[in-house]
Structure 1
Amino acid sequence: MLKMASRLHQNVALKEEQSKCKKMHLVLNSPLGKIQMSGCEKGIHEIKLQPEVAPEKRSEILRVELNDKTSSKHRNPLMLSESFYFEFCVCWKKEVSFTCDVSKEPEEMTESLKECIAWLETYFREPWLTDKLPIPTFHHPVFQQDTFTRKVLETLLKNVKSGDTVTYKKLADLSGNSSAARAVGGAMKNNPVPIIIPCHRVICSSGEVGNYMGGKENCLKEWLLAHEKIQKSA
């Protein structure tokens, strides 16, 4: 009972702290569509993938791009196409609300937002180089609490690098609870900073890639895994 009350008090305190954060919201245009980022002076709050194409159409498009990349004998294997990789640009969200502090001046961005942009841009160009980049500081509530979810996410970030994969069961084992594969799945579903914390690299023991974003964006998971694998072997 005391433990539950303590956790409830901690959650309330975290919510109060988060509500005081002066967030900046950015939108990045990536090969996968728009990526929304939010962060404050203390770190990154969330990364949200916001594909604009219907899943079935996007699946078609992404697979065509991947097929073009792997089958062409004359194309540089380090890029899907010039436009597909190098049209990664930063644009600024115009909407302002009481939780959103928007600036058009890069020098006014927080260090963690700058690091996040640099990390993602590098990822879509040369993903293996991200292992050498600083990881932005995170300030989402999940990283402020001593929970199994946090441990799983941090273990994944530390141990599973670009071009590699890990099963849900193995990640549970690495996180200190070999029987918690289902809980690992829940942690992946609630990952607030996808791509940087690579939940797309966690696959089923059968070898199937498993679900991504609640099963709605499995083609994105396939693309990310193929992107890393092809780049690693190039």
Structure 2
Amino acid sequence: MASRMVPKVNSKQGGSPCQEKQVVLLSPLGRMEISGCDKGVHEIKLPKPSLPPPGRAEPLVACEVCEGAEELPEPLQQCTAWLRAYFCEPASTGTLPLPALHHPLLLRDSFTRQVLWTLLNDVKFGEAVSYKQLADLAGNGRAARAVGGAMRSNPIPIIIPCHRVIRSSGDSGNYGGGRPMKEWLLCHERLQKEKLAQGGGCSPAPAHNHGSSA
């Protein structure tokens, strides 16, 4: 279900500074803050980590833009459309373009950039890899620790799916949005992949309330 379309990275240096815009997407995980310009997405900020409420998870909330919806540059429009599809209609992400990306980490040649790009291209929806496996895929099997650093540095989570990188033991491991969020994302993808394989409908996984960004 993951999109096969590779997002563009605007590599132009110099020129006028970015006219940054921001938009807030109210997702099943909470408020996601997305920033970018007409050259590409700069960053996706996940909700702050919090523990899920006791008992059963809450029903899925609507996934919609709640702030900054007017006059968004195309990359932010594409980003919010892709994220809404990811949460609510995962099967449709394969027909949507991924937005251009415009973060300095993705513009300069480095092993971190290679790891993030490999993760985006090679680890599909509903799959998971270990840090060691991702290091192998990125061309340096001895750099599992560096892969961990790349995951912590990822400026575009979910679109660049660092939640799909787990420990060799099968433990989910750490995540910028907190372990419960990582486990929710993995469960969401696994359930949707199973439903599609069975020819079922597209009913997203139940969500925990992970709080809001400051």
Extract unaligned runs of 5+ from structure 2.
1-11, 196-214
1:41 is matched by which residue type in structure 2?
A: D
1:157 to 120, 144, 151: 120
Residues of 1 paired with 2:134 and 2:94: CA distance? 19
Question: Which structure is higher in helix share?
Answer: 1
Secondary structure of 2:35's match?
strand
1:34 and 2:24 matched = no
Deviations 1:115-140 (A, max 9, x none): 10110000001224323321110000
Extract unaligned runs of 5+ from structure 1.
1-12, 66-79, 94-103
1:168 to 131, 135, 151: 131
Of structures 1 and 2, the larger Rg is shown by 1
Aligned to 1:224: 185
1:60 is matched by which residue type in structure 2?
A: P
2:184 is matched by which residue type in structure 1?
A: W
TM-score normalised by structure 1 residue count: 0.73
Aligned to 2:148: 185
Residues of 2 paired with 1:197 and 1:128: CA distance? 17
TM-score normalised by structure 2 residue count: 0.80
Residues of 2 paired with 1:186 and 1:131: CA distance? 29
Residues of 1 paired with 2:106 and 2:189: CA distance? 26
Secondary structure of 2:136's match?
helix
How far the C-alpha of 1:50 sits from its partner, in A, is 1.9
Q: How many residues matched?
A: 184
8 Å Cα contact 1:55-1:217 kept in structure 2:
yes
Aligned to 1:121: 84
Aligned to 1:91: 66
Secondary structure of 1:20's match?
coil
Aligned to 2:208: none
8 Å Cα contact 1:169-1:180 kept in structure 2:
yes
8 Å Cα contact 1:211-1:217 kept in structure 2:
yes
8 Å Cα contact 1:126-1:231 kept in structure 2:
no
Aligned to 1:207: 170
Following TM superposition, the consecutive aligned residue runs of length 4 or more in structure 1 with deviations greater than 6 angstroms are none
Secondary structure of 1:60's match?
coil
Deviations 1:30-88 (A, max 9, x none): 1000000000110000000124xx723xx236x722xxxxxxxxxxxxxx84xx14x11
Residues of 2 paired with 1:174 and 1:131: CA distance? 22
Structure with the greater relative contact order (CA < 8 A, sep ≥ 6): 1 or 2? 2
8 Å Cα contact 1:169-1:181 kept in structure 2:
yes
8 Å Cα contact 2:63-2:88 kept in structure 1:
no
Percent of aligned pairs with the same amino acid: 52
